[in-house]
């Protein structure tokens, strides 16, 4: 996961940008400009593009939760699973039976969802 702040200067001279939490090219959460509370999406938004925009990686992650609270406790239906290639992870929503892998994108089904279904 990577926390980034948008620093784009728009054509009208404004810099009304937000802070984003990314999992690869998937947008997991954001913090609206002027706010401190993050908004977590029920399903990550796929294909977040940095094209034509400028970002800086944040040294202090504003999305970190208090040590007593784990993300899995907030959204237990969201699971992170390892793909078949080392270092590749996908997000599975066990309530909606969706996955961020390419197999699910093209076929609407994948092994990651099947592996998490109760026996």
Q: What pLDDT score does 65 carry?
A: 56
Report which of residues 95 and 88 the model is more confident about: 88
∠ at Cα 81 (100, 57), nearest 5°? 70
| Structure-block tokens of residue 49 | 């593009």
In tens, the pLDDT along 89-104 reads: 888 888 778 888 888 8
- Strand locations in 7-110 (E): 19-23, 26-31, 39-45, 55-57, 78-82, 89-93, 98-99
Write down the domain spans for the chain: 2-57, 71-116
Q: What pLDDT score does 19 carry?
A: 92
Q: What pLDDT score does 18 carry?
A: 92
| Structure-block tokens of residue 97 | 């039976």
The C-alpha atoms of residue 18 and residue 26 are separated, in whole angstroms, by 16
| Structure-block tokens of residue 40 | 């977590």
Query: Is pTM beyond 0.85 here?
Result: no
Q: How many CB atoms lie within 10 A of CB 68?
A: 6
pLDDT reading at 29 higher than 70: yes
Q: What pLDDT score does 119 carry?
A: 61
In tens, the pLDDT along 33-87 reads: 888 888 888 888 899 988 889 999 888 778 765 555 555 555 677 888 888 888 8
């Amino acid at each position: 996961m990577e926390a980034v702040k948008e620093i784009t200067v728009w054509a009208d001279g404004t810099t009304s940008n937000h802070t984003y939490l990314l999992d690869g090219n998937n947008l997991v959460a954001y913090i609206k400009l002027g706010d401190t509370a993050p908004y977590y999406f029920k399903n990550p938004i796929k294909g977040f593009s940095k094209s034509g925009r400028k970002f800086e990686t944040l040294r202090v992650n504003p999305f970190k939760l208090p040590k007593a609270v784990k993300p899995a406790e907030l959204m237990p239906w969201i699971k992170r699973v390892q793909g078949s290639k080392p270092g590749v992870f996908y997000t599975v929503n066990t309530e909606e039976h969706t996955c961020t892998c390419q197999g699910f994108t093209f076929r609407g089904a994948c092994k990651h969802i099947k592996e998490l279904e109760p026996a």
